[in-house]
Amino acid sequence: MKTFVAFFAGSAIFGVVTGVAYWLIAHEEATGTVLLGCMAAALAFTAAYAVIAEKNADLPGDDPQETPERAAGEALGIFTTHSAWPILVAISSLAMLVGMLWSPLIGFSGLAALLLCLWRLGAESARV
């Protein structure tokens, strides 16, 4: 986990350095500075979250001496095998976008279907 935090933190620093270098070299062109700034901010946010998450992490994958026998019994969660909602989310997303352009009726139906699918998907995930 520490390795991962280091990679995210390193990426964020790289983003800041590149953004500042770009601004110094090409400050008359704002788009690039904004893009690199957003990138650095996103990476910094992730790195910050990773630092906080790392404090509470006790992952068997991080311990080089850990064995499957010793880690046995640890709950990994329940992995679902089937769900009808993902494919319906995709179809309703398409209906919503297509409808937005050509048919408000299809668009609103798609939006309603998408919200319903996401709600059911969430409910299903909460159960299993």
Residues lying near another protein in the complex (CB under 8 A) are found at 1, 3-4, 7, 10-11, 14-15, 18, 21-22, 25-26, 29, 31-32, 35-36, 39, 42-43, 59-68, 70-71, 76, 79-87, 89-91, 93-94, 97-98, 101-102, 121, 124-125
Of the pair 68, 105, the CB lying nearest another protein is at 68
Map tokens 């640890």 to a residue. 74
- The distance of closest approach from Cβ of residue 126 to another protein in the complex, given in angstroms and rounded to an integer, is 11
Show the tokens assigned to 40: 């650095």
Instruction: Compute the distance between CA of residue 1 and CA of residue 5 in angstroms, rounded to an integer.
Output: 6
Torsion sign (Cα): 8, 9, 12, 18 = negative
Of the pair 61, 105, the CB lying nearest another protein is at 61
- The distance of closest approach from Cβ of residue 39 to another protein in the complex, given in angstroms and rounded to an integer, is 5
- Cα first-last separation, the chain: 27
Torsion sign (Cα): 13, 19, 23, 24 = positive
Of the pair 21, 52, the CB lying nearest another protein is at 21
- The distance of closest approach from Cβ of residue 81 to another protein in the complex, given in angstroms and rounded to an integer, is 6
Length of the chain measured in residues: 128
Instruction: Compute the distance between CA of residue 6 and CA of residue 37 in angstroms, rounded to an integer.
Output: 20
Of the pair 84, 115, the CB lying nearest another protein is at 84
- The distance of closest approach from Cβ of residue 71 to another protein in the complex, given in angstroms and rounded to an integer, is 4
